[in-house]
């Protein structure tokens, strides 16, 4: 069995267990621990954080390989910066609501979470195929990722938002509503930028722009996509699972 | 004149106006369709102005051409590695990828902004020179006072970026920054941001002080939205600029330049960049939340609906305290960099200085709540934050001891840059010594929101940033232009500025201790502060005049200064080993580090760097 699939199965089991834990023993500590474990798996196996420290001796600084390493450091620093934004949102959520949570549609929340997780798996598959030189396989998997990502975004913005508003959780009605829409909205915005980036990469790959091993944009799109997933790994329990209902 | 209007920067500004109009009209149309009011008393409604501000800033970036290469890349077209700048002065008004051009663009923008911020201060200082409201309305006083704060902060961030951009690749022996296009983006985004900040004056002004605390900022005129969006846009420059700098240091150091052989300024730049890369996100978030609360009614800070105004202060100060270290760390780095050159002795305790910069940056992340001792936050937070704040004095003290030990028994050459270094050390010491009383809960409860804080803050900013910044300008001016600034005018500048700064800050502290509240437009004549306020105002004017002398110095030096293309100061630093001004891509041969950076006064010491001619670098 391929590594990507193994990691995905562990992630899937953890997500299911997370849901069960939230129903049986709603412990913020346990849920936080599981989210951290999931994020760790994605960051290591899907985002290949270890590539940052892989010491390959490249002396020619004008070479593509060296520049790729430089770009990688830049991308990760950008993600570090972005991480502070999402951490700030999480802290604001706990500052405003403490260990309570608004009433939301649990089935829908679980469904969109699964969609995003599965999309991460296909993104990983797409990247692997690309590295193997299988352009058709890359495209097929990237299309699936795009579709799932779009479904996630619409699921949140076009389905979840109106549903929540209909149940009385409006952006202007309470701080709970405000922080819910800000967190999901900010995340959806990042999903949207990831989709646009992925679409551009997919188009350019089809036109053969990334020939001769110059595939940094593919890796960048993948790493960014997984980062968006990692953010949701924390946002999902923070919004849907942790705390008692208001 | 036609050339002027065809410059990319002017095209960008035109695009910004069109972009603002387009975004505003779009929202007006949507509002009309929703049955809401489409236009307001200030032409647009508030949501229109917010969206217009954003679309205007984006349009500027398209118009100026900062996005051209990225758009081509996205379209799958090949992009040239080399970028050719237009000749002469026009390149400073166009998108250039050369880090030295960008550094000068940043520095010039910073001086323009510092002049603007200073002018605003002079206007409201004139109002304060005697009790009673004389010529400003309360709203205008508040607007000028708030914008003075924020414009100065942006100008300092831009000035820091200018010095770092200009110097770091040269100090590292690199051809350019790691991401030249991102570098250009980081500079150009400051221009629409400054326009937004200044534009807030036309939309009713800002009456919250630079901190923009809710609930006051929720009730301010629309101008506050331009202020928030402007700061948010300027934040991009900080984040992307610091990212670029960190990558450059990590990836593009010369051969042999291990971490403890880097010029000390680079360490300071790293420490400052770590803060601006990460913490900037939190002020963006805090400001965005107020923008949303105002435009969409999302009650983050409204206690009636479950919001919490203290949350804003936590998010705001998580950035806004560490950012003062972004201001002063590069300044202190400049002091450490220049001192050994002018005392002809090695820098004392190099490693300690390098680590103290990092130490200040890291401790700086856990001190923010000392701004909130009187805010009504949880009381158990007070004492831990008091101690963490006092801890900052330790690495800062390390720097002072190192400077004193470096100067000890040195042969001090008192030239203008050295004067500003010494002035910086003295003024920063004043600011540093008046810090602990503000950090200590018991004394801060009395000092909070008084002129004592204002005096303390201006000492740290002048000593930690303004003096070192001018030292750097005098020191590296020959590098950038091939001409040396006039020494006599430089000394006039220094001797006019230093006593004035010391004078007005000490007077501020004095009346602050006696109970003068900060940020107020008028005060009771019975307090007896009239004469002191008059003196503060006069000192303020003298500082402004001294800066005018500097600008005059720059003007006549560029016009008819003596050429100075060699190693003007007898420095060991790599950029001075080659003739000034430097060509694009800096060194024509590969730079290799073979010695220590600060082995001054040791005749047998090997040079810091050599250039290997046989390796044909481009």
pLDDT at site B78: 83
Q: Give me the domains of chain B, ranges plus CATH numbers.
A: 1-77+90-95 (no CATH), 96-577 (1.20.210.10)
Interface of A with B in 168-187 (CB under 8 A): 171-179, 181-182
- Cα-flanking dihedrals φ and ψ of residue B300, to 5°? -60, -35
Residue A31 above 90 pLDDT?
yes
Residue A209 confidence (pLDDT):
83
Half-sphere exposure of B136 (CA within 13 A, CB side): 24
Cα distance between residue A44 and residue A48, in whole Å:
5
Mean pLDDT within B135-147: 95
d(C-alpha A86, C-alpha A233), whole Å: 12
Residue B532 has, within 13 A of its CA and on its CB side, a CA count of 17
Q: Measured between alpha carbons, how far is residue A226 from residues A59, A72, A223 in Å?
A: 31, 14, 5
Task: Please determine, for residue A6, whether its predicted confidence score (pLDDT) is greater than 60.
Answer: yes
For testing contact with chain A, the best of B281, B304, B587 (most A CBs within 10 A): B281
- Convert the pLDDT of each residue in B171-195 to its tens digit: 999 999 999 999 999 999 999 999 9
* Residue A56 in contact with partner chain B when CB distance is under 8 A: no
Instruction: Quote ipTM for the complex.
Output: 0.95
Phi, psi angles (nearest 5°) of residue B593 = -85, 125
* The CATH classification of domain A3-245, taken from the options 3.40.50.2300, 1.10.3720.10, 3.40.50.20, 1.20.120.80: 1.20.120.80
Proportion of chain B above pLDDT 70, given as a percent: 99
Q: What pLDDT is recorded for position A32?
A: 94
User: What's the pLDDT score for residue A55?
Assistant: 67
Judged against a pLDDT cut of 90, whether residue B156 lies above it is answered with yes
Tell me what the pLDDT averaged over chain B comes to.
94
Per-residue pLDDT band for A1 (boundaries 50, 70, 90) equals low
Would you kindly state where each structural domain of chain A is located, as residue ranges?
3-245
The answer to whether the CB of B167 falls within 8 A of the CB of B333 is: no
Contacts of A171 in chain B (CB under 8 A): 296-298
How sure is the predictor about B617, in pLDDT bands with cuts at 50, 70 and 90?
very low
> CA of A116 to nearest chain B CA: how many angstroms apart?
25
Looking at per-residue pLDDT, the higher value among B121 and A2 belongs to B121
pLDDT tops 90 at residue A25 = no
Q: How confident is the model at residue B353 (pLDDT cuts 50, 70, 90)?
A: very high
Mean pLDDT of the region A70-96? 96
Q: Which of B382, B462, B406, B454 is nearest to B429 (CA)?
A: B462
Contact yes or no for B250 and A204 at CB 8 A: no
Distance from CA of B286 to the nearest CA of A (A): 9
Q: How many CA atoms lie within 13 A of B205 on its CB side?
A: 15
Q: What is the pLDDT of residue B618?
A: 41
Chain B residues close to A91, C-beta within 8 Å:
314-315
Beta bridge partners of B610: B592
**Secondary structure percentages of chain A, helix, strand, coil, to 5:** 80, 0, 20
- The per-residue pLDDT for range B309-338, each reduced to its tens digit, is 999 999 999 999 999 999 999 999 999 999
pLDDT in tens, B68-103: 999 999 998 888 877 778 878 888 999 999 999 999
State how far residue B298 is from chain A, nearest Cα, in angstroms.
Answer: 4
Q: Which two tokens mark B47?
A: 């949501």
Q: Tell me the average pLDDT across B358-384.
A: 94
Nearest residue in chain B measured CA to CA from A70: B251
Rounded Cα distance, B553 and B532, in Å: 32
- The residue in chain B having the minimum alpha-carbon distance to the alpha carbon of residue A172 is B298
Tens digits of per-residue pLDDT, B377-404?
Answer: 988 999 999 999 999 999 999 999 999 9
d(CA A15, CA A5): 15
Q: How far apart are CA B187 and CA A55, in angstroms?
A: 33
- The number of angstroms, rounded, from the C-alpha of B426 to the middle of its chain's C-alpha atoms is 21
Closest-CA residue to B177 (of B84, B243, B255, B83): B243
In eight-state DSSP terms, residue B410 is: -
Show Cβ contacts of residue B49 under 8 Å, excluding neighbours closer than 6 positions: B24, B42, B203, B222, B225, B226
Report the distance separating Cα A182 and Cα B292, nearest Å.
9
């Amino acid at each position: 069995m391929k590594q990507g699939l193994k990691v995905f199965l562990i992630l899937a089991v953890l997500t299911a267990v997370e849901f069960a834990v939230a129903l049986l023993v709603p412990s913020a500590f346990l849920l936080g621990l599981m989210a951290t474990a999931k994020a760790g798996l994605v960051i290591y196996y899907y985002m290949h954080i270890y590539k940052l420290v892989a010491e390959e001796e490249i002396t020619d600084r004008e070479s593509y390989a060296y520049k790729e390493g430089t770009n990688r450091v830049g991308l990760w620093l950008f993600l570090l910066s972005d991480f502070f934004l999402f951490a700030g949102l999480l802290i604001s959520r706990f500052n405003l609501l403490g260990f309570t949570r608004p009433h939301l549609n649990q089935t829908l929340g679980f469904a969109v979470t699964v969609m995003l997780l599965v999309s991460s798996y296909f993104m990983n598959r797409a990247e692997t195929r690309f590295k193997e030189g299988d352009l058709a396989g890359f495209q097929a998997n990237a299309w699936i990722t795009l579709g799932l990502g779009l479904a996630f975004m619409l699921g949140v913005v076009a389905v979840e938002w109106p549903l929540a508003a209909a149940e009385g959780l409006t952006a202007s009605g309470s701080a709970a509503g405000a922080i819910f829409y800000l967190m999901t909205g900010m995340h959806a915005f990042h999903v949207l930028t990831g989709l646009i980036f992925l679409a551009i990469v997919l188009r350019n790959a089809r036109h053969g722009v990334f020939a001769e091993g110059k595939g940094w944009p593919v890796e960048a799109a993948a790493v960014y996509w997984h980062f968006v997933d990692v953010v949701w790994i924390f946002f999902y329990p923070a919004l849907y699972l942790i705390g008692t209902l208001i | 004149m036609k050339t002027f209007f065809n410059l990319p920067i002017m095209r960008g500004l035109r695009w910004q106006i069109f972009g603002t109009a387009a975004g505003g009209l779009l929202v007006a149309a949507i509002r009309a369709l929703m049955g809401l009011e489409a236009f307001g008393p200030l032409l647009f409604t508030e949501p229109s102005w917010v969206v217009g501000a954003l679309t205007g800033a984006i349009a500027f970036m398209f118009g100026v051409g900062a996005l051209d290469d990225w758009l081509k890349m996205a379209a799958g077209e090949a992009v040239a590695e080399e970028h050719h700048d237009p000749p002469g002065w026009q390149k400073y008004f166009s998108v250039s990828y050369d880090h030295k051009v960008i550094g000068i663009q940043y520095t010039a923008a910073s001086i323009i902004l510092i002049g603007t911020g200073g002018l605003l201060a002079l206007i409201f200082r004139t109002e304060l020179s005697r009790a009673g409201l004389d010529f400003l309305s309360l709203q205008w006083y508040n607007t000028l006072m708030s914008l003075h704060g924020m414009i100065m902060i942006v100008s300092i961030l831009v000035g820091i970026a200018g010095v770092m951009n200009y110097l770091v690749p040269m100090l590292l022996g690199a051809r350019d920054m790691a991401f030249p296009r991102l570098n250009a983006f980081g500079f150009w985004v400051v221009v629409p941001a400054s326009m937004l900040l200044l534009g807030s004056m036309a939309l009713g002004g800002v009456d919250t002080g630079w901190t923009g605390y809710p609930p006051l900022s929720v009730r301010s005129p629309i101008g506050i939205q331009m202020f928030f969006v402007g700061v948010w846009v300027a934040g991009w420059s900080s984040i992307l600029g610091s990212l670029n700098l960190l990558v450059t240091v990590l990836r593009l150091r010369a051969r042999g330049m291990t971490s403890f052989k880097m010029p000390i300024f680079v360490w300071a730049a790293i420490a400052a960049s770590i803060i601006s890369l990460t913490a900037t996100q939190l002020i963006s978030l805090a400001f965005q939340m107020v923008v949303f609360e105002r435009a969409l009614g999302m009650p983050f800070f409204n206690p009636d609906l479950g919001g919490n105004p203290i949350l804003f202060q936590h998010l705001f100060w998580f950035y806004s305290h560490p950012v003062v270290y972004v201001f002063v760390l590069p300044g202190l780095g400049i002091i450490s960099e220049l001192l050994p050159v002018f005392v002809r002795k090695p820098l004392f305790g190099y490693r300690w200085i390098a680590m103290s910069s990092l130490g200040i940056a890291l401790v700086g992340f856990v001190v923010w709540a000392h701004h909130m001792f009187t805010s009504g936050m949880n009381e158990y937070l007070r004492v831990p934050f008091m101690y963490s704040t006092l801890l900052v004095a330790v690495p800062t003290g390390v720097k002072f001891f190192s400077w004193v030990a470096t100067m000890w028994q040195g042969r001090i050459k008192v030239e203008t840059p050295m004067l500003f270094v010494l002035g910086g050390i003295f003024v920063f010491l004043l600011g540093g010594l008046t810090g602990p009383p503000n950090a200590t809960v018991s004394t801060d409860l009395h000092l909070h929101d008084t002129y004592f804080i204002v005096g303390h803050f201006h000492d740290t900013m002048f000593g930690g940033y303004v003096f070192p910044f001018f030292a750097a300008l005098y020191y590296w001016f020959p590098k950038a232009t091939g001409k040396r600034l006039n020494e006599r005018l430089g000394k006039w500048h220094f001797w006019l500025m230093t006593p004035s700064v010391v004078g007005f800050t000490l007077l501020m502290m004095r009346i602050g201790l006696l109970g003068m509240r900060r940020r107020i437009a008028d005060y009771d004549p019975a307090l007896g502060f009239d004469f002191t306020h008059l003196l503060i105002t006069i000192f303020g004017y003298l500082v402004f005049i001294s800066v005018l002398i500097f600008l005059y110095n720059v003007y006549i030096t560029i016009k008819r200064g003596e050429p100075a293309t060699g190693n003007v100061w007898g420095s060991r630093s790599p950029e001075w080993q080659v003739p000034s001004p430097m060509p694009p891509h800096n060194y024509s041969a590969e730079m290799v580090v073979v010695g220590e950076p600060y082995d001054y006064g040791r005749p047998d010491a090997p040079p810091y760097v050599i250039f290997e001619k046989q390796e044909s670098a481009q």
